[in-house]
Amino acid sequence: MREAYYRWLQARAQIGIFDSTLELADENHRVNDSLFRNGKITRDLVYRAEADQLEVEQSQLGARNTERLAQSYVNLLRNAPFDRPIPVTAVDDPDMDRLRAGLTRRIAAPQLQLAALQDTAVRQRSELRQLDAVAAAAVAGERLARAAFKPRLAFALDAGTQGETYGLGSGDRYVLASLVLRFNLFAGGADQAGVAGAKAVEREARASRTLQEQTIRFEVQQALQDLELSQASLGTAAKRVEAAAGAFRIASRKRDLGQINQAEFIDSRRALTDAQLNLNVTRFAALSSLAQLEYALGAGTRHLPPEIQP
């Protein structure tokens, strides 16, 4: 649910990026049309600006379609109508630090260390508890199967009255005690088969638990590495946006002065859009990695608004 919600927020942010980009493309088209009417450039640059504008509009339509599908999927998980509105949450880079700090508090660890997280997951994951229960039941089944080889001793005591009439005299009362020893000499191999079957179930359960534990440890390692990579990339992605924005401002001034051709200006605009989209993807990839890590830990925590939780 959290990952689906993050994908929807990412799609909404992508629409905002293309909205801003379309404004830049519209302005570029307007400026080039003005320059052409004043005889400063040729018509091909106007056509190039128009083509760039239409390209952005097409990307914007695709982003809106992605956002609708993401909304429908979130509502599918909520068992709600696909078009039901979803509360919007603003996400910024400081939120990652806050959510990560919250996770460290919940697991009572000063920082996210791989070995400690793996041990926490092994303690908390219900799959391992289920396999432990299966193994324990198999051990009990083996003890029960082995009991068939042991002799059984039974003691019975029966008391009452006897005779043609009901009486409590010494000649009417009776007490009968019996001691029965039973030993199964031959059962056609059924007892041995029962013991062997119980042992096989126990071995299978313990082997499955070992494999499942290793799988869980790997899940934690993968989620933690993805989280650390995406968080480390956030700073680089933000600086890339700053650099691309600075280059675009310079390119815009050069365009207004007729000192840059249209291809260079559009490349500068595309570099800015790509940098903004990359930052958006990286930010929500970090949030998804955090959700995957918490899932791998078996913590069962949520950071969704109450009204959209399933």
Determine the pLDDT at residue 209: 84
Written as six digits, the tokens of 307 are: 């009204």
CA distance 57 to 22: 7
Residue 70 within any structural domain of the chain? yes
Determine the pLDDT at residue 305: 42
Which residues constitute the domain of residue 26?
1-90
Amino acid at 265: F
Determine the pLDDT at residue 60: 92
Residue 39 within any structural domain of the chain? yes
User: What's the DSSP call for residue 40?
Assistant: S
Residue 300 within any structural domain of the chain? no
Sole residue written with tokens 């608004």 = 305
Determine the pLDDT at residue 156: 84
Residue 68 within any structural domain of the chain? yes
pLDDT < 70 positions in the chain: 93-111, 145-151, 163-171, 181-192, 195, 299-310
Angle at 73 between CA 71 and CA 78, to 5 degrees: 95
Phi, psi of 108 (to 5 degrees): 55, 50
Residue 106 within any structural domain of the chain? no
User: What's the DSSP call for residue 83?
Assistant: T
Residue 178 within any structural domain of the chain? no
In sequence order, the β-bridge partners of residue 179 are 155
Sole residue written with tokens 């650390």 = 228
Residue 8 within any structural domain of the chain? yes
Q: Looking at the 3D structure of the chain, how many domains does it have?
A: 1
CA distance 310 to 306: 9
CA distance 289 to 222: 9
Q: Is 42 helix (H, G, I), strand (E, B) or coil?
A: coil
Residue 20 within any structural domain of the chain? yes
